[in-house]
Amino acid sequence: MDDAPPRRWRPGATDVLLLAVLSALALSLGLAPITNNDVWLHLATGDWILNNREVPHTEVFSFVAAGRPYLAHEWGSELLLAGIYAAAGLAGLVGYKTAIALLLSWALFTAARTAGAPPARAGLVAAMGLFVAGAHLWARPHLLTWLALLACLALLSRARRQPRWLLALIPLQIVWTNMHGGFILGPALVATWGAGRWLEARGRGSGAAQGLRILATAAAMALACMVNPYGLRLVSFPFELAGSDLFMGAVYEWQSPLTSGYRNTTMFALFIVMALAWLTTVIRGRKDGDLPRILVTAGLAILALRMNRHVPLFMLAAVPSAALAFPSRRLAGQRTGRVEIALVALLLASTTLLVAFWGYPYGLHRFRPLGLGLGPRVPAAACDTLQRLQVQGNAFTTYGEGAYTAWRLWPRVRVSMDSRNSVYGEDLYLAYRQALRSDQGLRDYIRRWPVDLAVAAHMGPFRRGYLPALDRDADLPHRGLLKDAGLLLVDFDDATATYVRPGADGSGTAAAEAYRIIHPVLGWSGFPAADLPGAISEARRALARHPRSVAARWILANALAQAGETDAALVQLQVMEQMDTAQVARSWGVPRSLDAARLGLEALMHRQQHDCPAARRALEEALRHDPEYQPARTLLAQLDC
C-alpha cells in the first residue's frame, strides 16, 4: 500500500508502453476548447490584481453588486492564469490543463506501481481515475487542488520512514491556501492520516509517536492557512459558501452524484467501479500502514457522495488501493501477463481515439469535442459586436455570459450577473432568477437596475412553436429586453443575442444595424406579408455575419417559404443538412429533435408544392430521427397520399 515503506520501482519496457498510452489519453482529455464560464472571471481578477498591485476587497465588475465585499479567495491561481494567458493566449490555457492531465497520469501510474500493482492493472486503474477527472478538466484553480492532494499523500507516505518530509507540508499548505478553496482539505487530510497512524499503533510505541507528530503537523498547517492577504476571512470563506442551500442546489457540480443528472454519466459508472475495487481491497484485509490511507480515502468518498465535484478527489486517492483489488496472476506465467498488458494498452489506445474523434463522452448523447480555442457557447461574437460599436454602460447578462463579458469589456461595461455566487448573495441571485422566469420579474429588475445593453443566451428558434413542451420561458428575457428595457437587437448567433439601447454606442451605428423583424427566439415564423421582404433581407444579413448560424438559416428558410419561394427555402434546408448541427442541437437541449424539426419544415414545403410523396418521406425520416416528435406525427396524419 502507499503508506508502506516506499518500494524500489524501476520502470521497465512494459511500464514505458503503458505510460505512453496513458500520456496519449491525457493529451486527448486536455486538448479541448475553453468552455467553462468561471475561467473568464479568474482572468479578469488576475488582470485587476496585476494592474492595481493588490487583491480586491470590493466588487468592481458588476453594477448590481457594486461595492459589496469581494474576496478573491483564489487570487494566486488567478495571477497564474492571467500570466499564462498574457504569455500564450488561449493555447496557453489549454496547455495548462493538458500539462496537469499529463502530471496526473504519471503520478497515478507511479503510485499504483509503487504500491505493488502489476503494470496492466496499474495502467487500467490509473486511466479510470484520469478519465473521471477529465470531465472536470477545466482551466480553473481546482486543478491545483488535485496536485496538492497527491503531493500531500506522497509526502505522508515518505514520512513513514523519513519524518522530515512532514515539514514540507507547511509551505505546501501556504501555497495551496492562496490558490484554491480546496485548501481546507489539507489540515483535515493530514489530521485523518495522523489519527489513523495513532490508531494503527494502538496508542503505543514509535507508531503512536509518529501519529502524534502528524497531528501536530496538521495543527501547524491549519495555522499556516492564515498566511494570506485576507486572514481569517479567507479561511472561513469555503464554509460560508458551502452553507448556502440555495447555491448548493442551483449549481450542478455542487449537487450529489446520487440525486442529479451525474448518475446518468460515464463518470458515475466509473466512480462506482472504482469504489467497488477499493472496497474489495479493504475487505480482503489491510496490511500494516494501510489504515491512514483507508481513512483518508473513505473521507474523500463521503465528500464525493455529497458533491459530484469531489468525485475526482476520491478517484485520485483510491487508485493505488483499487489497483490491488485482485490478486496478481504471476503464477500463470509471463504469457498471461503479456496478454493483460496488450489488452490494457489496446483499451487505452481505443479510448484515446474515441475521445479524439468523437469527444469526451459525458453520456450517450453528450460529448465534449477535441480542439483548441473557445467552446461553442462562449459569447465572443457578442462581445466583438459590442466592442466594435463602442458600447458602454450596464449590461444585463445571463448567468453563463456575464464572466466573459466582464473580462472582455470591463471597465466600459459592467455586468448584472456572473457565476461568483459569493459576491451576489442569495438576495441578488433570487432577484435575477425571478427576472428570467416572469415578465414582471424582469420589469422589476430593470426598474431597480436600468440597463444599457444585454448579452443573453438563447436556446434556438425552432423550439418556440415546434416543441411546445420545451417552450417554458423560451422567450424570456428576450421579450422584456426589447419591450420593457427598450433595447435593440444588434446581433445574434446560435448561442447569444446582443442588445443595445439607442444612443449607448459610441459609433452611432447600432440603430442602423438593428434587427427589427427577425429574432433568434421571438421572430422566425409567421411574418405578416408586409414584413416578409424585410425578414428575408435581415436573415440574409445575419447569415452574412455568421455563415454557420443554424438559427439565421432557419429563419431565412421560414421567411422564404412564407413568401412563396419554396425552392429557395428548400435550398437553405439542404445547406443546413450538410452543416454539422449536432453540437448546436446539444447546446439547445434537443439532440434528436433538430433534424426532425428541419425535416418537418421540409415536409411542409413539399406539401405546399403538392408533392405529397416527398412530404411523407420527409416526415417518416423525421420520425426516425425522433419518434416522439409530435408535429411530424400530426402532419403525417393529415396527408392523404
pLDDT tens for residues 491-514?
999 999 999 999 999 888 999 999
Residue 638 within any structural domain of the chain: no
Query: Could you tell me the pLDDT band of residue 466, with boundaries at 50, 70 and 90?
Result: low
CB atoms within 10 A of CB 604: 18
Please tell me the total count of domains within the chain: 2
Q: CA Rg, the chain, in Å?
A: 28
For residues 81 and 161, membership in a common domain is answered with: yes
- Whether residues 387 and 329 share a domain: the answer is no
pLDDT of residue 370 exceeding 50: yes
Comparing CA positions, the residue from 322, 268, 267, 270 lying closest to residue 293 is 322
Q: How far apart are the first and last CA of the chain?
A: 73
C-alpha dihedral sign at 291, 295, 300, 302: positive
**pLDDT, position 331:** 42
Between CA 138 and CA 142, with CA 140 as vertex, the angle to 5 degrees is 100
Are 66 and 39 contained in the same domain? yes
Question: Does 4 reside within a domain?
Answer: no
Greatest Cα pair distance in the chain: 93
Angle between helices 550-562 and 532-545 (to 10 degrees): 160
For residues 430 and 384, state if they share a domain: yes
Which residue is listed with cell 435581415? 538
Q: What are the tens digits of pLDDT across the range 56-95?
A: 999 999 999 999 999 999 999 999 999 999 999 999 999 9
Where does a domain end: 368, 400, 419? Answer: 368
Predicted pLDDT at 8: 59
Residue 454, H or E segment:
strand 453-457
Q: Give 353's contacts (C-beta < 8 A, 6+ positions apart).
A: none
Q: What is the DSSP string of 173-227?
A: HHHHHTT-GGGGHHHHHHHHHHHHHHHHTTT-HHHHHHHHHHHHHHHHHHHHTT-
Residue 133 resides in a domain = yes
Same domain (yes/no): 302, 437: no
Which of these, 125, 130, 234, 245, lies nearest to 177 by C-alpha position? 234
Q: Which long-range contacts (CB under 8 A, 24 or more apart) does 626-630 make?
A: 626/592, 626/593, 626/595, 626/596, 629/593, 629/596, 629/597, 629/600
Q: Where are the alpha helices (H) located in 394-509, listed in sequence order?
A: 402-409, 421-437, 439-448, 463-466, 478-483
Q: Return mean pLDDT, the chain.
A: 90
Residues 535 and 471 in one domain: yes
Q: Are residues 447 and 563 in the same domain?
A: yes
Q: What's the rounded Cα separation, in Å, for the pair 150 and 315?
A: 11
* pTM, 2 dp: 0.91
Q: Which residues of 501-538 are buried (b: 16+ CB within 10 A; e: fewer)?
A: beebbeeeebeebbbebbbbbbbbbebeeebbebbbeb
Distance of alpha carbon 489 from alpha carbon 480, whole angstroms: 12
Among 32, 184, 11, 180, CA closest to 101: 32
- Per residue in 527-536, pLDDT tens? 999 999 999 9
Distance CA 636, CA 641 (A): 10
Q: How far apart are CA 486 and CA 429, in angstroms?
A: 23
Residue 316 and residue 388 in one domain: no
Q: Which of 325, 344, 368 is the last residue of a domain?
A: 368
- The angle formed by the CA atoms of residues 503, 434 and 70, to the nearest 5 degrees, is 75
What pLDDT band is residue 1 in, cutting at 50, 70 and 90?
very low
Residue 165 CB contacts under 8 Å (≥ 6 apart), including other chains: 155, 156, 158, 159
Q: Per-residue pLDDT tens for 127-150?
A: 999 999 999 999 999 999 999 999
> Which of 573, 591, 609 is a domain's end point?
591
CA-CA distance, 92 to 497, in Å (whole number)? Answer: 29
| 405-438 per-position pLDDT tens digit | 999 999 999 999 998 888 998 899 999 999 988 8
- 254, 298 contact by CB (below 8 A): no
**Is 111 part of a structural domain of the chain?**
yes
Q: State how beta strands 413-415 and 393-397 pair.
A: parallel
Q: Of the given ranges (126-130, 149-153, 248-252), which has the lowest mean pLDDT?
A: 248-252
What is the identity of the amino acid at 213?
A: R
* DSSP sequence for 93-128: HHHHHHHHHHHHHHHHHHHHHHTT--HHHHHHHHHH
Q: Are both 454 and 548 inside the same structural domain?
A: yes
Q: Are residues 330 and 386 in the same domain?
A: no
Residue 207 in any domain: the answer is yes
Q: Give CA–CA dist 50/86, Å, rounded.
A: 11
Q: Where do we find the cell 443538412?
A: 577
Residues 6+ positions from 342 with CB-CB distance below 8 Å: none
Alpha carbon distance 20, 14 (integer Å): 10
Alpha-carbon distance of 247 to 232, in angstroms, equals: 23
In a domain, 604, yes or no: no
Domain-embedded: residue 10: no
Confidence of residue 328 (pLDDT cuts 50, 70, 90): low
User: Are residues 334 and 390 both part of a single domain?
Assistant: no
Q: Is residue 507 part of a domain?
A: yes
Residues 390, 507 contacting (CB under 8 angstroms): yes
Range of the domain at 184: 27-368
Residues 363 and 271 in one domain: yes
Burial of 203 (0-12, 13-18, 19+ CB in 10 A): exposed
Q: What is the pLDDT of residues 296-306, one digit of tens each?
A: 999 999 999 99
